[in-house]
A = this chain, B = another copy of it.
């Protein structure tokens, strides 16, 4: 946990920004797997963590803007809990560690909020993404669960996005810790990528490394020889020589900060020339993007530049034809990279995605583009010093998508489908680093994972 002044300062800063009212920050509870007492690893709500920093289930935080006070609601444990879970600090003790003086038992939150509503005060909350918190807000506020999205506070979202987008030194240190665990996960996966090994086993082992780091994975591990399936959570295959293994995985620290890396390696340790040709294009897109990142640039423009690098590279290989800029304007690259270049990262791997992507990745100046090849971009707006984001270009050969474009005559003037069909069983390549926007440019967070073909082959040799 960071020192308590950090949390006091954050809550005060939010209070200064808000016009008034009460900010409700329900924490998470344990989520049941297959019966009430058999629960998943506890994951605290990120907004709660940011302002209250207590990584325990069953808490409710309130920031009272008008009164200038902070409250924490929750219950202390009894002797039965101690037998099963061990001695626990009291809520009052935990609250003191994050600079909160007022605490009360959980059920008192109903009376507290009720009184505020009765006084006609504005109540602010961000979109609840867990069903139990939707039910809780319904009970607290008397709003039908299906109608809650209409009552979300845009004012609160915008101020919190402003605050959380710029990472402070403590947050950057945490992200670096998550990156160190992520490094170990990926190098382990590379070394295990031998003919006959099971995808499931490697995916399990690297998730185990994440858990051993104290937090767990920052998102479900993607590890597959079918890298063309962007979020492939099927790990049922055995590794086969000649295939590419794409691993997109990261860790969380105990305090919830994420890392998120992707590497693509040849099963058995040696790239074929055909694989290397595509790989080098993706690598160039990755390197050029890092070089472009600096305060003031729109990430949409970095994305479009990566699209140009990819289009140009694929043109050299004969898969794309015609003018590169024109092809990118028509979204021809989207057949090969149907996703965006990256997203914000912090307490969530897709930072603040629960608030709505448009509030995080875009602003009044930069609006989301519906156009082919940019619609999937999660982050488009101008970058600021302190932003942390992913840089993850890729090239994929997705049979169902190729089939669809062919059938619907999409961008036939730019795509050489005959040539593309030669890559039908190629799979996909993605290369992803995490970047911190610095005063002058960008810094790759953590020790950079092996990324050139030589570095990768060297690592895989042992």
Contacts and interface: CB of A to CB of B under 8 A. Distances in A.
Interface of A: 31-41, 43, 45-46, 79, 82-87, 129-132, 134-135, 145, 198, 200-214, 219-220, 226, 229-234, 256, 338, 347-350, 352-354, 398, 400-401, 404
B79 A219 contact: no
Contacts of A404: 79
Contacts of A46: 34-35
A39 B202 CA distance: 20
A82 B230 CA distance: 9
Contact of A86 (B39, B209, B232, B353): B232
Given A79-B404, A404-B79, A35 B353 contact: yes
A350 B37 contact: yes
A83 B38 contact: no
A208 to B, nearest CB: 2
Nearest to A33: B43
A34 B38 contact: no
B86 A234 contact: yes
Contacts of A212: 198, 200-205, 208
27 contacts: A31-B31, A33-B40, A34-B129, A34-B256, A35-B46, A35-B348, A35-B350, A35-B352, A37-B353, A38-B353, A40-B40, A41-B220, A84-B231, A85-B229, A85-B231, A86-B229, A86-B234, A87-B400, A131-B134, A134-B135, A198-B212, A203-B211, A203-B212, A204-B210, A204-B213, A205-B212, A207-B208
Nearest to A211: B204
A134 B212 CA distance: 34
Nearest to A396: B83
A132 B13 CA distance: 35
Contact of A400 (B82, B135, B230): B82
B135 A84 contact: no
A360 B134 CA distance: 32
A233 B214 CA distance: 12
A400 B43 CA distance: 28
A157 to B, nearest CB: 13
A252 to B, nearest CB: 9
Contacts of A37: 350, 353
Nearest to A39: B220
Contacts of A32: 129-130
- Kindly list the 9 A-B residue pairs having the minimum CB-CB distance in the complex, ordered from nearest: A208-B208, A204-B212, A204-B211, A131-B131, A86-B229, A35-B354, A131-B132, A201-B212, A35-B353
Given A84-B229, A86-B232, A338-B83, A38 B348 contact: yes
Contacts of A145: 135
A145 B134 CA distance: 12
A36 B354 CA distance: 7
A209 B204 contact: yes
Given A230-B83, A400-B79, A31 B36 contact: no
Nearest to A45: B34
A388 to B, nearest CB: 16
Contacts of A83: 229-230, 338, 398, 400-401
A409 B208 CA distance: 46
Contacts of A219: 38
A410 to B, nearest CB: 12
A131 to B, nearest CB: 4
B129 A35 contact: yes
Given A85-B229, A208-B212, 19 more contacts: A34-B45, A35-B129, A35-B348, A35-B353, A36-B353, A38-B350, A38-B353, A40-B40, A82-B400, A84-B231, A203-B212, A204-B208, A204-B211, A205-B209, A205-B212, A206-B208, A207-B207, A207-B211, A208-B208
A352 B213 CA distance: 33
Given A204-B210, A208-B204, A229-B84, A43 B34 contact: yes
Nearest to A226: B86
A398 B80 CA distance: 11
A245 to B, nearest CB: 15
Contacts of A232: 85-86
A83 B403 CA distance: 12
A461 B204 CA distance: 26
